[in-house]
Structure 1
Amino acid sequence: MRERILTCAAVGLFSGAAHAQSSVTLYGVVDTNLEYMNRVGSVPLPTNLYNPGAGHSVTRMNSGGVAGSRWGLRGEEDLGAGMKSLFVLESGFQADTGALEMNNTLFDRQAYVGLRSNKFGQLTFGRQYTSLFLGLANFMPAAYAVQYEPIGVIAGPNFRENNTVQYAAVAGPVTAIAHWSFGVGITLPPTSPFAQQVMVGGNGEVPGRARGDTGYGAALIYTPGAFGFTIDYDQYNPSIAQGSGTNRRVAVAASYTFDGKTKVMGGYRWGQNKDQHSLTVLRDDYYWVGANYQLTPAFELTLEYDYQNVRNLNGSVTVANPWQLLFMAKYSLSKRTDLYVSTAYARNAGLMLESAASGYGASLLLNNTYAPANGQTSMIGVAAGVRHIF
């Protein structure tokens, strides 16, 4: 079974590849698919009076299925005495249209510079992934597949944060990560009268508001062999009116690999969002379980079940709990090119568990609606595509 790696993590920290004294690498992924889905509506926004409308089936071309399409530059320089400087600039784009993944932001995925020491670990500065996102990366069955795995529900819409200082170190089978953001930098339009309290982190770094829009977290990852375990914490403090809220997540996950062919994994994530008056906006528990099976050296199967227990949503404690079943089959034509088929069935939410409890974050970030239409309680999607890595 292929060894899963933290491709989104700080470059070089989690691998043992040798490098020249100074190097710059161009890399990327182009991933495009055709998708069919049913019962889909519009994302609830002020422009449609928060009304998703009637349900329709849709067949469309998407960018990103197994992975988001992106290109990037990464480099490092050997400074001697076990010290290296490094940088990463990574830009997401829509392979179906050629547009930037995020408007007016060239390097929306990662943009940081830092230093790495053989003895003391790595310190980086810029736009980076949160500690919780990195901590869970090797414990998600679909490996953060852009299509259908509910990344935003798991890690929050702020899983990438601006203005971030991050420290990471490896000691044998243990990896430790911690970060602090001076301004998270996520701004999404409201999808209900309460959505800003759930979703918006703002740009931060405003004089006189030291707490507003900040974020921080930590992760501890233990991977001694076939068994793996992680515990992670994330918090960000979105500005709301003249104050700031508090959004917290705590996650634990584990995995085990059998005979090098089957990897089973699962976890639990506790979540609580509060507004500027410390009133609960969202309180949920999230569970997942799944497996990867390497049927042949080229053919991999993935199965994942996700369940969100919404305990409180803006004062309501009787919300129907969303759940989803996801299946993916991937065939490698070479080390760089894959063909894949993905399908998912969601109940009490749209695909990727899109609902008021998630603030419809996936639809807003992906520029493709997965919102369920009025009166719909289920949705199914099927996609077939190709991914090329360079």
Structure 2
Amino acid sequence: MDAFRRYASDKDGAVVTAVPCKLARDWGKTPAVALAAFGVFAGAAHAQPSVTLYGTLDTNLEFDTNFKSASSGSAHRYALNGEGLSGSRWGLRGVEDLGNGLSSVFVLESGIGADDGTLQQGGRLFGRQAFVGLQSATYGKITFGRQYTSMLEALANFSPAAMSSLYEPVIAQIGPVYREDNTVKYAGTFGPVSVGAHWSFGTGGSSGTMDLSRLGGPGEGPGQFRRDTGFGARASYAAGPFSATVTYDQVNPSIVGSGGFAGTGTFKKAAAAASYAVGPAIFMTGYRWGMSTAPGQTLTRDNLYWAGVYYEMTSALSLTLDYYYQTFRSSTLPALGPAGNPRQWMLIADYRLSKRTDLYLTTAYAKNAGLCLDTASIAFNNGYQPAAGKDSMFGVALGIRHNF
């Protein structure tokens, strides 16, 4: 098969493109899905200016065990969700040919809850993406606005479940601030090598709770250049069936406790991953190193390992199996949940009714943590914290997704 870009969705379901792979989902080859990309446009710029409307609606019925209840007990949960393999969204993408291989580009993308119609990302109108920039056919692209981090872009095609919104522990993998406000980003592809880097003057996002009342803020404060900034870089290589990537990400969030502003932290992550295509299967593996510090203390120091396979059984049916394993080396936080290192197994069966509509079954089992590797004291904003005294969680969901 010819090489395609494999389309993946991040934790909130944004369709993103990363390094080329030998296989692509059939629905991912259609222009409607490709339009949901970061603004990474394959090929030369369009000959005429254009603005395109695109989107995805994804809902599912879900069942979970050992869920932390309102009374702090344990209970099963039944729910209808507005995201599953992808997050529901609509957006506008524009491109204009300026001549001599140069084009202007923009993306405005809004996250919505398909279950209740509400705006996502804290109620922002275009909380998923909002940027404008210039793209050169020779030198790459530079963009300005609210964008994805370099680490998310690097790992999108090396996460077995393609950064599925439901169950894949994306926030544990790349951190909760994977979209950043006030960001300048560069991306370029030169033969088999793809590179990128970004700088945020103020990430504008929370970096999790972790026993502190607030982490993260808007940044851009007079006389406080470092406060709430973020930056990162990536480099990827793809040739034939083999692909690999390395990436680094750092945010410097405001740390606000009961006594007010306590300074800025340093949250660092570095990762390496690889994939190899064998016939209709893509095998993936990766490692992420992480350290989060506040003034005078180490909040967490952890490692995350993962491996999995994406397999096209038929032209309509695909299966995904993945495994994540996390170790904590040190922490000044309270106990990180049940004894033992968190781990999770996940299985997805996706059946395409057409190029735009698919049905899916996704299930996951987590040990020594909640689903998505949430623990009793570190909530990764997934909402899957286990009940007190429980050391495992199981979840299953049946859903439908339509791309337009």
Question: In the alignment, which of 223, 228, 249 is matched to residue 234 of structure 1?
Answer: 249
Instruction: Report whether the alignment pairs 1:157 with 2:157.
Output: no
Residue 102 of structure 1: CA displacement? 2.4
- TM-score under structure 2 length normalisation: 0.87
Report SS of the residue matched to 2:163. coil
The question of 1:344 aligning with 2:361 is answered no
Which residue of structure 2 lines up, in the alignment, with residue 146 of structure 1?
Answer: 165
Q: After the TM superposition, which residues 109-258 of structure 1 pair with which residues of structure 2 at under 5 Å, given as runs?
A: 109-187=128-206, 190=209, 193-194=211-212, 196=214, 200-240=215-255, 241-258=261-278
Displacement of 1:8? 2.5
Shift of 1:13: 3.5
Bigger shift: residues 313-322 or 126-135: 313-322
State the AA in 1 paired with 2:177: N
Q: 1:189 to 1:136 in 2, by over 3 A?
A: closer
Runs of 5+ consecutive residues of structure 1 not aligned to the other structure: 43-47, 364-368
Tell me how far 1:119 sits from its aligned partner.
1.8
Name which of structure 1's ranges 348-357 and 374-383 shifts more when overlaid on structure 2. Answer: 348-357
Distance 1:17 1:150, change over 3 A: farther
Residue identity in the other structure for 2:67: V
Give secondary structure in 1 for the equivalent of 2:122: coil
Contact 2:39/2:93 (CA < 8 Å) preserved in 1? no
Q: Secondary structure at the match of 1:255?
A: strand
Number of residues of Structure 1 aligned to a counterpart in Structure 2:
370
1:8 paired to 2:28: no
Q: Distance in 1 between matches of 2:16 and 2:44?
A: 16
Is residue 13–residue 169 contact of structure 1 (8 Å, CA) maintained in 2? Answer: no
TM-score, normalising length: structure 1: 0.91
Decide which of 291, 303, 323 is 2:321's aligned counterpart: 303
2:84 to 57, 65, 84: 65
Structure 2 residue aligned with 1:45:
none
CA RMSD after TM alignment: 1.9
More strand by share: 2
SS of 2:7's equivalent?
Answer: coil
Partner amino acid for 1:224? A
1:332 aligns with 2:352: yes
Q: What does the per-residue CA deviation read over 1:105-134, in whole Å, with 9 as the maximum and x for residues that have no partner?
A: 111111000000112210000000000110
Deviation at 1:276, TM superposition (A): 2.1
Per-residue displacement from partner, 1:133-162 (whole Å, max 9, x unpaired)?
100011011001000000100010001101
Measured in 2, the distance between the counterparts of 1:4 and 1:283 equals 32
Q: Deviations over 1:175-230 (max 9, x none)?
A: 1010000011113774x53464xxx2211111111001000000001111210000
Q: 2:400 pairs with 383, 386, 389, which one?
A: 386
2: distance between equivalents of 1:204 and 1:227?
40
Structure 1 position 16, deviation (Å): 2.5
> Displacement, 1:101?
1.1
* 1:64 to 1:15, Cα distance in 2 relative to 1, 3 A: same
SS at match of 1:296: coil
Deviation at residue 61 of structure 1 after TM alignment = 0.2
Structure 2 portions without partners, runs of 5+: 9-14, 18-36, 256-260
Cα distance change of structure 1 residues 388 and 87 upon mapping to structure 2, 3 Å threshold: same
* Secondary structure of 1:103 counterpart: helix
C-alpha separation between the residues in 2 aligned to 1:111 and 1:127?
A: 5
Q: CA offset at residue 3 of structure 1?
A: 4.7
Identity of paired residues, percent? 50
2:341 corresponds to which residue?
A: 321
| Aligned match of 2:284 | 265
Could you say if the C-alpha distance between residues 303 and 31 of structure 1 is closer, same or farther in structure 2, counting changes exceeding 3 Å? same
